[in-house]
Structure 1
Amino acid sequence: MAHGKAQPVGFEDSLSKLESIVSQLESGDLPLERALEIFEEGVGLARLCQSHLAEAERKVEMLLRERGELKTVPFDPSADLTESPTSPRAVSTTVPKAATPASVPTIDFDDDIPF
């Protein structure tokens, strides 16, 4: 790591340090060498944060699986976050009805042909 500094161990400490690095880099006031050093440190911190999050997710899944409550739902980025992920709207399996011939407008293409 840059300058022999120890990386923060916990998620919150790592995230806080990463946010500080991002702010420094966004300021544009650093010399190139220093910017590269802290960028490298930031990449390590981002990986560490991702690792902490993945581990937390595994623990939650394991705990829910033990209680028999684990249900996987496909991710829908447009879903309302206030809804339960198992609500009928979020996990709808309803297939829309096909349009009936009476509701489909007919188009006469012969009128548009110039020859």
Structure 2
Amino acid sequence: MAKTPAPASDALPESPLPATYEEAQAELEQLVSQMESGQLPLDGLLASYRRGAQLLQFCRARLEAVEAQVKLLEDGQLKPWGAA
């Protein structure tokens, strides 16, 4: 009788994304700090990397959305922040 393999960590449900860019950034910074500490086991590192990739994608999408709104407000021309 063959043994059934243990469920992979891929089967774990994804954590919900934060409500704001700032929350996502704070969680991402915390993950990076934990990963850099060298105290996480290999599976923990992999889970942290996956979560970090999700958070990074969320942050990039939020930044792109804000950039698109700024372009609309600036009449289709993105101007440097310092421009008056």
TM-score range, shorter chain: 0.7 to 0.9
Structure with the bigger percentage of helix? 2
The counterpart of 1:15, out of the listed 25, 33, 36, is: 25
Equivalent residue number for residue 103 of structure 1: none
Equivalent residue number for residue 26 of structure 1: 36
Query: Superposition RMSD on alpha carbons, in Å?
Result: 2.6
Does 1:51 find its partner at 2:61? yes
- Inter-partner Cα distance in structure 2 for 1:7 and 1:17: 10
Unpaired segments ≥5 residues, structure 1 = 74-80, 87-115
Residue type at the aligned position of 2:73: L
Unpaired segments ≥5 residues, structure 2 = 1-9
Greater relative contact order: 1 or 2 (C-alpha under 8 angstroms, separation 6 or more)? 2
Residue type at the aligned position of 1:24: Q
Equivalent residue number for residue 95 of structure 1: none
Aligned residues: 74
Secondary structure of residue in 1 paired with 2:74: helix
Map residues 100-111 of structure 1 onto 2, 5 A cutoff: none
Residue type at the aligned position of 1:16: A
Identity %: 28
TM-score (ref. length: structure 1) = 0.55
Kindly tell me: are residues 11 and 71 of structure 1, through their superposed partners in 2, closer, same or farther at Cα, counting changes over 3 Å? closer
Map residues 1-115 of structure 1 onto 2, 5 A cutoff: 4-65=14-75, 70=77, 84=82
TM-score (ref. length: structure 2) = 0.73
